[in-house]
Chains A and B, each alone.
Chain A
Amino acid sequence: MASVRLKIWGCRGSVPTPGSQTAGYGGNTSCVEVLRDDETALVLDAGTGIRALGLDLVARGVRHINLFLTHLHLDHLEGLRFFAPLWHPQVSLDIWGPRSPVLSLRDRILRSFSPPLFPLDFRDVPAKVTFHDLPAEPWRTHGLSLVSDLVLHPGPTLGFRLEGNGSSVAYVPDHEPALAGIDGRSLDWLSAGAIARGADVVLHDAQYTEEEYGAKIGWGHSSVADAVAFSRAVGAGRLVLFHHEPDHSDGALEALEQRARELAAAEAEAPVLAREGMVLDLC
């Protein structure tokens, strides 16, 4: 059975932020690869980080890709149009995402894949693309399982839990559990509680400082204090701070990490900042 290994290709929130001030942790928006030992790929989210990943997958000769979208806000989707495998006729791409009460996943994604937002139409895409609503039951492949559940964020939004060979990772990049309460809540009433319960690693939204959050309540993202509180509530091993605020320079992010470590001083493992190129190996 495979262990869970992840590579972060993008961890910025909201909008890409290229430039010298963000070079250390990266300016690409959310994209995480679940590293595989075969010729398939498993990808979480299609922010701009997926562009570089796509080039890498083409170079590696990967022909079958499963892409899991937490939700369809642009920072999790905007890289898809520039995902090199999409423009390769021998590639099959299965896109999985949250159900909507209104439109199919395909119709929602295609809104951003046609004029005037994009010069080409989706029917011009040469790859074989199939859209799926993520099922309620676990999705399994080669010893890995992925389960999803709706989490607290504006619009239908999923969190993911990956398990393999006794290791587990929760990926909840956009999440504001504080709106429904964290401290004092039993796990069954905690948004994403089951997704993240006891996970070895939790990649969790920590977009704001505590001061910034006061002006952003209800926007769907967490303060660093709430990220630490959530990680503690679910009994996670290590908290990886994700979905970095676009206005935060590398220095500001390191101050945020320091604050997280102060708040989690009693925890066994200190929180860390997600960074482009970071590999999380749970062997």
Chain B
Amino acid sequence: MVDSEQKQLVLILARAFASNLSTPTLLADARGYLVFYNEAAEGVVGRRFSETGEMPLDDWIGAFEPRTASGEPLSAEREPARIALDERRPAHLSFVVTSADGVEREVEVSAFPLFAHTEEFVGIIVMFWRR
């Protein structure tokens, strides 16, 4: 890389891909920072990305109070995004969140690690659906 601020090409391509999807999708970089979510995701989380900006993904997820269907707080170790970031493997889970607009929603979340090369982890892509 020529500049630590330059996004890796895989993330640039993933953003272009996500921008054209009607499936809610977000991207986080290898540091675990939320770097983008698409318009479809804005509809689920209740806030535009331009209002959010880049921030630690854990902080962003935490704001939605993720919890199990029975109301138990969801530990970070069980969150698909955290698993994809820490263990660099895909993960999937259903859980409940409260959107920024105060609406409680049950969501299905799938997270995948992104590798530019076999050993070059550049971030994750997370897709989610309202149940």
Report which A residues bind B (CB closer than 8 A).
99, 101, 136, 138, 147-152, 161, 179-181, 187-191, 193-195, 197
* Chain A residues near B13 (CB-CB < 8 A): 152, 180
Contacts of B116 in A (CB 8 A): 101, 150
B118 on interface, CB distance cutoff 8 Å: yes
CB-contact partner of A180 in B1, B6, B16, under 8 A? B16
- Measured in the bound complex, the distance between the Cα atoms of B59 and A213 in whole Å is 43
Q: Which residues of A contact B118 (CB under 8 A)?
A: 101
Number of A-B contacts (CB under 8 A): 47
- With a cutoff of 8 Å between Cβ atoms, the chain A residues found around residue B15 in the complex are 180, 189
Closest A residue to B16 using CB positions:
A180
15 residue pairs from A and B, CB less than 8 Å apart = A99-B117, A136-B1, A149-B1, A152-B13, A179-B16, A180-B15, A187-B5, A188-B3, A189-B12, A190-B12, A191-B12, A193-B6, A194-B3, A194-B5, A197-B3
Is residue B2 within 8 Å, beta carbon to beta carbon, of the partner chain? yes
A99 to B118, CA, bound (A): 11
Is A149 a contact of B2 with CB atoms below 8 Å? yes
In the bound complex, what is the Cα–Cα distance between A281 and B9 (angstroms)? 31
Q: Complex Cα distance A181/B16, Å?
A: 8
B117 touches A150 (CB 8 A): no
Is B2 in contact with A194, judged by CB distance below 8 angstroms?
Answer: yes
B9 neighbours in A (Cβ, 8 Å): 149-152, 191
Name the contact of B2 in the complex, choosing from A148, A189, A191 (C-beta under 8 A).
Answer: A148
CA distance A193 to B7 in the complex (A): 9
Bound state CA distance, A179 and B13, in angstroms?
8
In the bound complex, residues from chain B placing their C-beta under 8 Å from that of A181 are 16, 19
Indicate which residue in B7, B19, B117 contacts A188 across the interface (CB closer than 8 Å): B7
Contacts of A190 in B (CB 8 A): 12
Most buried by A among B7, B15, B118: B7
Instruction: Name the 9 nearest CB pairs between A and B, nearest first.
Output: A194-B3, A194-B6, A180-B16, A150-B9, A147-B2, A194-B2, A188-B5, A180-B12, A149-B2
